[in-house]
A and B are shown apart, each in its own frame.
Chain A
Amino acid sequence: MQRLAVGAATASLALVATACGSSGGGNSSGGSGQAKTPSTVTLGEITDLSGVASFYGIPENHGAEIAVDQINAAGGIKSLGGSKLAIKTFDTASNPDNGQTEATAAVGDHVAAVFGGEISDTVLAGINVTQRAGTPWVDVGGTADEIHERGYNTVFMVDHDSTQFASEWLSVAQAAAQKLGISNPTEAIAYSESSYGDELYQAWNKAAQGTGLKTVTSFGYPLTTTDFSSVAARLAASNADIILNMGYPADGLALAKLFATQSKPKAKIVMLAGSDAGAVTGQLASQADGALMIGDIAPGVKGLPASFTTFDHDYQAKYHSAPDSQSMAGYVAVRFIAAALEKAKSDSPSAVATALHSVTLTQTTGNIYPDPTTLSFASDGALANAPFYAAQITGGTGKLVWPTDAAETTIAAYGR
């Protein structure tokens, strides 16, 4: 009996050893030697598919799915013998506490790479796990500088970071002030007290040093704020030339409505830096006229590559709505990972991470932005030249005003 038990234990150990031996990184069944190409390469999308940030997380997922559809229809990852891509989603439910657990789940599922994330704190929590595992994470919507400043060699960003975002918005403010003939403009700032808002506020102050901008009031408001009446009144009462909100989409929506109906600021420039023009006009139409927001690229914008037109067509056909800025970022994230898989000739996470450092997307290989024409990562994982588009609401529609070479109209004064 005892011998039987020992035999069974030995057999079990042998089985466990065999099982362990066959579970390598990624879905690849090969390393060196007899390499087999996987039929499917699974990418993990860790993002906010429910909760408040699903406002961005769902379009991000839709954009990513379009990239997968296009790549698979074109024959998959050719260097892996035509392996098809598949996305496995991990919902962080707009709760940064879930970043770590969902990242652990994705690593446990041996995904070839992770992408996604719409809240900086969620991404910051998750990349600790993926860095340890050597799995690359291509961040889509988290903008905190810290994401790439930690020195992790497996972390990449396809959206702008806080420094880039502040710098671009500052350029818009300066161009608007010049166009409207405002010399030595004054500004009033309200920012959301979160990693995103705090970092953006600090980056803005740093960028604005020596530009002649004079801050007449600046204040944070709690992340939990739902009634913005007092915030709107305080900004309007400042009589500043420029009003700037560094908040979340719902913040900008509320402020745009309050400015139009209640507080009616005298500022000539109103910038709702965290809000998407398409989403706000969908709710407020012409009530938001004059406000500057994040612009959406739509067919008709100057210099659009053919790849955007195809993306836009496929997206609208599948989801019956227009893509937004996060749809495009989700799409580009998958395109970057696919290019890295091609280059690495392997779905091993570490090989994909290494390849991501040197891949470039052109307008024929997955970059759907008109400007810049090529996308690549800087040595710290940030996007070297992050696309940035600003729109002004005019007649209930967002019209691109920045960058100037893609502009559909010139900046006009708010409330005139």
Chain B
Amino acid sequence: MLFEQLLIVGIITGSVYSLVGVGFTLVLGVGRVANFAHGSFVAVGLYLALFASETLGLNAYEAFVPAIILFALIGIAVAELFEWRGRKVGEIGELLIGLALLLLIGGLLEVLFSDTPRTINGLVLGHVDIAGLTISGTQLVAVAFTLVTAVSLYLFLRGSRWGRALRAVAENGEAAGLYGVRVPVARRAAVTISIVVAGAAGIVISPFTVLTPDVGSTYLISAFAVVIVGGIGNALGAVLAGIGIGIVTSLSSGYLASYWTSLAPLIVILIVLLVRPGLSEAV
């Protein structure tokens, strides 16, 4: 029974990793930006849901559409910041912007909401009992949202003119530019989409997550792990990698000593790197 429970817990946790990783893989693959603040936008989504619940009386789903619009605006601004800094001082400048945003967002959340761990109650959407474990409707929505987001991104990148342009930039920006693709616009679009997905992830997982201002760092680490295992720029790979890492983490914490809980995902990453040294995948 414990095995089944840990498996289910792993899939749910892994789907959260996937959701965060999907956006990160896009910004790395197309935007060519290691946005260290990526996890922080998940934290912003979480606290936005808390604000909506406590101040406006809206649940996470009611706040979803306004939040997406807000994240799109934030995404455009941050993408512009990366482009501006990138033009001036290159990739190092972009890395520093990411780090600065990571610290700034964590500090702001601490000032606005305090360090006290928080939870958002009320929204459950029913539940199903599987193997002695009660899974809430909100957790199932998060899993479904992950799959829909990943498939949508995959189809967008594969099937649309815009998506093909983004893939072209991911493979060879210079060549894509010679063929008329506006590379800076593509990079900005990738950063914006990734921030929207990260913020949406925060909103969707808020009903069953404990909120702390520094939670963004945790999600950043998981996003890196997902990208390494799933391949840079591979949305479906990110989903499989996230769920895989979630299951490995859950099973190891269920059966093994705690140091293995931290080590197990790293061992998986090491094996993947040994078997498949190239990280880049066709987007």
Interface residues of A (CB under 8 A from B): 50-52, 54-55, 94, 193, 219-222, 224-231, 233-234, 236-237, 249-250, 253-254, 257, 261-264, 279, 283-285, 287
Contact = CB atoms under 8 A, between A and B. Distances in A.
Enumerate the 8 nearest inter-chain pairs by beta-carbon distance, A residue then B residue, closest first: A250-B117, A237-B2, A230-B253, A229-B9, A220-B258, A233-B5, A230-B250, A254-B210
Interface residues of B, number: 38
Main secondary structure of the interface of A (DSSP, over half): helix
A55 B117 contact: yes
Contacts of A230: 6, 9-10, 13, 249-250, 253-254
Interface string B249-268: 11001100111011000000
Interface string B1-25: 1100110011011000000000000
Contact of B258 (A222, A236, A262, A264): A222
B254 A221 contact: no
Given A226-B210, A237-B5, 5 more contacts: A220-B258, A222-B259, A253-B210, A261-B208, A263-B5
Given A55-B116, A226-B215, A253-B119, A237 B134 contact: no
Contacts of A227: 13
B118 interface: yes
Contacts of A249: 117
18 contacts: A50-B110, A52-B212, A94-B115, A221-B253, A222-B262, A226-B215, A229-B12, A229-B13, A230-B6, A230-B254, A234-B6, A234-B254, A250-B210, A261-B208, A264-B132, A279-B116, A284-B121, A285-B121
Contacts of B210: 226, 228, 250, 253-254, 257
A257 B134 CA distance: 12
A263 B133 contact: yes
A221 B261 contact: yes
B124 interface: yes
Given A219-B258, A262-B136, A52 B214 contact: yes
A404 B12 CA distance: 42
A261 B134 contact: yes
A333 to B, nearest CB: 21
A52 B119 CA distance: 15
Contacts of A264: 132, 134
B135 A262 contact: yes
A217 B215 CA distance: 29
